[in-house]
Amino acid sequence: MELFWIRVATAMYGVASLCALPAVLWNRARFRTAALALACSAAVLQCVVFAGMAAAHHRFIPTGTHEVQAALGLLIAAAFLLIAARYRTISFGLFALPMAFLLALPSALGPDHYTFSSPLARGGWIAIHVASLLAADTALVFSLLASFLYLLQERRLKDKHAPGFFAWLPPLDTMDRIAQSTLVLGFLCMTLGLFAGSLIAQERVGATYFQDPKVVLSFAMWLIYVSILLVRQSKGLRGRQAMYVSTIAFLVVLSVWAANLFSSVHRFAAP
């Protein structure tokens, strides 16, 4: 039954992605309403499914690669809905909704063959650790998207002969505020996630936890993140420079995810 509802939620994301095209590119009000309604319904359905799975299996975090991907997709969809409500723009739906669909798709295709079987999965601190870091990744995705769209809109406004295809882009100030706020939010979530992970390590894993490649890269990423925020704030970076800053932060996050292949603590294994 869980698989059925996961498939329903995934299908909703797919249809919402299709509705986002005419809603954003041609400003069709009906498609805008449909995209928002479907995305909201899919996110709520995913939350209900995750809550049911957590209650049934007595754990608080996703323990398989498909579950982690679906959780990240849920956070991306939720972030899109929050931005749409706060800034009155659904332009990010062109990117966020397909990402949510693609991330939810593996879990809708069948059971997960790679899981994280640590007994820590049942703890509260590990739930905070995982949720915070996934939220940080989501915030970075939107910061990068906002910076990229800012650059497109800036070029469009400077070029008098630019095609009207990008007329759907939000104002520069809106995208700059989204890029800045999501970058700061990502830093706060990352800090909380690393703090929770450090507490878990001290209590249950021991000092060897801090020799794990992913842990070392995570703390290096935090230092880079601090530097990026300081540079962006002190220099007042916008446009191309801001996009470079967000891109650097996102690439560092990708390197940390890739470190799972060499991690003895965070590794997903076949049952």
Hey, what amino acid is at 102? Answer: L
Q: Tell me, what's the pLDDT at 21?
A: 94
Q: Tell me, what's the pLDDT at 89?
A: 92
| Model pTM score | 0.85
Q: Give the model's confidence band at 8: pLDDT under 50 very low, under 70 low, under 90 confident, else very high.
A: very high
Task: State what percent of residues in the chain have pLDDT above 90.
Answer: 31
Residue 17 and residue 112: Cα distance in Å, rounded? 25
Residue 116 and residue 125: Cα distance in Å, rounded? 16
Q: Tell me, what's the pLDDT at 15?
A: 97
Q: Give the model's confidence band at 104: pLDDT under 50 very low, under 70 low, under 90 confident, else very high.
A: very high
Q: Tell me, what's the pLDDT at 218?
A: 76
Q: Which residue has the tokens 């409500």?
A: 85
Contacts by 250-255 with C-beta closer than 8 Å and gap 24+? 250/140, 250/141, 250/143, 250/144, 252/220, 252/221, 252/224, 252/225, 253/136, 253/137, 253/140, 253/221, 255/217, 255/221
* Main-chain phi, psi angles of 269, to 5 degrees: -130, 155
Instruction: Find, among 185, 127, 120, 172, the residue nearest to 146 by Cα.
Output: 172
178-227: pLDDT as tens digits: 988 988 898 898 888 888 877 776 666 555 666 677 777 777 778 877 87
The SS3 of residue 269 is strand
Q: Tell me, what's the pLDDT at 125?
A: 66
Which of the two residues, 78 and 120, has the higher pLDDT score?
78
User: Cβ distance 106 to 66 under 8 Å?
Assistant: yes
Cβ neighbours of 173 (radius 10 Å): 10
Q: Tell me, what's the pLDDT at 168?
A: 85
Q: Give the model's confidence band at 237: pLDDT under 50 very low, under 70 low, under 90 confident, else very high.
A: low
Residue 148 and residue 203: Cα distance in Å, rounded? 42
Residue 40 has pLDDT above 90, yes or no: yes
User: Cβ distance 39 to 100 under 8 Å?
Assistant: yes
CA 63 centroid distance within chain = 18
Q: Which residue has the tokens 């800053």?
A: 245
Q: What is the DSSP letter of 260?
A: G
Residue 66 has pLDDT above 90, yes or no: no
Which of the two residues, 134 and 217, has the higher pLDDT score?
134
